[in-house]
Amino acid sequence: MSEPKKDLVESPEQAAETGTLAARLSLGQRAGGIAVPIVTVVLAFLLGGLVVLATGHNPLLAYRDIFDGAGLNWIFHPTTSTQALSAYNLTQTLLQSTTLIFTGLAVAFAFRCGMFNIGGEGQYIVGLVVANWIGVNFAGMSTLPHVLIAIIGATLAGAAWAGIAGVLKATTGAHEVISTIMLNWIAIYTATWLFGAGGPLQTTAPGQSTNPVSSDIAHTAELPVIWGAKGFQGLDIGFFIAIAALVVFWALINRTTLGFEVRAVGFNPDAAAYGGINVKKNLIRAMAISGAFAGLGGAVDMLGYLYHYGSLDVQNSAAGGVGFIGIAVALLGRNTAVGVFLGSLLFGGLIYGTTQGLSSSVIQPELASNVTLIIEGLVVLFIGADLLILYVWNSRKRLRRQPPAQAPAKATA
């Protein structure tokens, strides 16, 4: 290069090139802070709106209807009666967000250790299956132990499922992306078979022998509903379990030795090893904790409002299911607890607001739900392009601080 001085001070771009995934993401975090996710979301909504506009619908009206569909108009007319549509829609949005908090945390924790857990879907399904099995059997127990056993069992199962990928990575170097994708499909097909006709977990109710659905869990295993009616998917205390999980995530990452080691490995495994940290142990540990979050999510959903699950639900979730949306949530939330919370609220609202919640004359749910997918894709695409963000961010700073020339040439951007 023409400027030898440049090598002495490493530019953000150079750091971005050489660092691990966690280092790169953290870099994006420092550059721009909260502004970047917000700009990303706005940009994604704009592009999504353009698609709507180009196909002859009014995007502003469409977004307003989606806003109402997510139950957010409740804010303007608060009521505790779930007879009101807005209140009902809001509970459904929060239920959806609860799931996304868990799968988002699962992705975020692995990211912090420099790994990409693309297998949240599989770990979530494993959690669902185990929670259903424990919930259906062991009936006759009192409520608290039954719920606890189901939750702990599902959490451990999720941890074990993700742990396979962690162990493979630590012992043989198998890339976690491929192994978690494979574990996803293994979980999906296994669950399809378990719940399917003739499968071990299929319902035993009379006349249902060809219905590929599991049995309902016992009443003792159901979580208490706090807002809404129990039979109509009221909001259960799972939402607060999710909030607790966010706090646990924050404390684990920021306030414990475990979190410090995980982050150190994420930033630079070689430096961490040099500092005396057992890299392999941390890879396995991070992956297992990551899976535990997703498995817990499966348990909370099963005990909270699903009560049973079917082969078809499993098959449908294979396409852009909650595990994958967790990736968007974690990336948008910068892998922090607060960010994951906000991200899951956004996507929870979008998902429910564009599907069941939506009643609109402007855009029908079948169309709108695909706009959600497009927005998710755009968010992930833009967040992944940290260099673009850095470039925009730096040029803004350059404009502000150094109005005259002498700005270092960013030739490579």
Partner 1 sequence: MSAWSQSLDNPVSERLRDPATTGYVALGLGAFAAFLAIPPIEARSPAWPVAVGIVAIALGIWTATRGRRKLGYGAVVAGLLGIGLGILATRSGTGNLETAFDATLIDQTFGLATPLVFGAIAGMFSERSGVINIGLEGMMLMGAFFGVYGSDKGGSWVVGLLIGMASGGLLALVYAFFAIHLRSDQIVGGTAVNFLAVGITGYFFQLVYNGQVSGNVSTVPNVHISGLGNFLESSIGNLSLLTWASFALVILAYIVLFKTPIGLRIRACGEHPRAADTVGINVYVIRYCCVVLSGLLVAIGGVYLSLGPQGNGTFIFDMTSGKGFIALAAMIFGNWRPAGAFAAALLFGFSNALALKLQVYSPQASTLFAILPYVLTLVAVAGVIGRTVAPAADGKPYAKQ
Residues within the interface to partner 1 (CB under 8 A): 1, 13, 16-17, 20-21, 24, 51, 55, 116, 118, 168-175, 177-179, 181-183, 185-186, 189-190, 192-193, 196-199, 280, 315, 318-320, 324, 327-328, 331, 364, 366-367, 369-381, 383-388, 412
Taking the C-alpha atoms of residue 336 and residue 181, their distance in angstroms, rounded to an integer, is 24
Half-sphere exposure of 180 (CA within 13 A, CB side): 31
User: Which alpha helices (DSSP H) does 308-385 contain, by range?
Assistant: 311-317, 322-332, 337-354, 365-384
Tokens encoding 7: 């090598």
Helix (H/G/I), strand (E/B), else coil: 237: coil
Contact 63, 208 (CB under 8 A): no
The smaller minimum CB distance to partner 1, of residues 1 and 9, is found at 1
The angle at the Cα of 197, spanning 140 to 215, to the nearest 5 degrees, equals: 20
The smaller minimum CB distance to partner 1, of residues 28 and 297, is found at 28
Tell me the closest approach of the beta carbon of residue 177 to partner 1, in angstroms: 6
Tokens encoding 207: 């006349």
The DSSP secondary-structure symbol of 353 reads H
The smaller minimum CB distance to partner 1, of residues 83 and 172, is found at 172
Encoded amino acid at 170, one letter: A
Tell me the closest approach of the beta carbon of residue 364 to partner 1, in angstroms: 8
The smaller minimum CB distance to partner 1, of residues 175 and 219, is found at 175
CA 181 to chain CA centroid, nearest Å: 16
Tell me the closest approach of the beta carbon of residue 212 to partner 1, in angstroms: 10
Tell me the closest approach of the beta carbon of residue 106 to partner 1, in angstroms: 15
Q: At what angle do helices 143-172 and 176-195 cross, to 10 degrees?
A: 140
The smaller minimum CB distance to partner 1, of residues 145 and 408, is found at 408
Tell me the closest approach of the beta carbon of residue 31 to partner 1, in angstroms: 14
Tell me the closest approach of the beta carbon of residue 21 to partner 1, in angstroms: 6
H or E segment at 226?
A: strand 225-227
The smaller minimum CB distance to partner 1, of residues 252 and 381, is found at 381
Half-sphere exposure of 222 (CA within 13 A, CB side): 17
Longest dimension (CA), the chain: 81
The smaller minimum CB distance to partner 1, of residues 244 and 366, is found at 366
Tell me the closest approach of the beta carbon of residue 13 to partner 1, in angstroms: 8
The DSSP secondary-structure symbol of 224 reads P
Tell me the closest approach of the beta carbon of residue 92 to partner 1, in angstroms: 21
Tell me the closest approach of the beta carbon of residue 272 to partner 1, in angstroms: 13
Taking the C-alpha atoms of residue 91 and residue 95, their distance in angstroms, rounded to an integer, is 6
Q: What is the phi/psi pair of residue 202, to 5°?
A: -70, 155
The smaller minimum CB distance to partner 1, of residues 26 and 91, is found at 26
The smaller minimum CB distance to partner 1, of residues 152 and 374, is found at 374
Report the chain's C-alpha Rg in angstroms.
Answer: 23
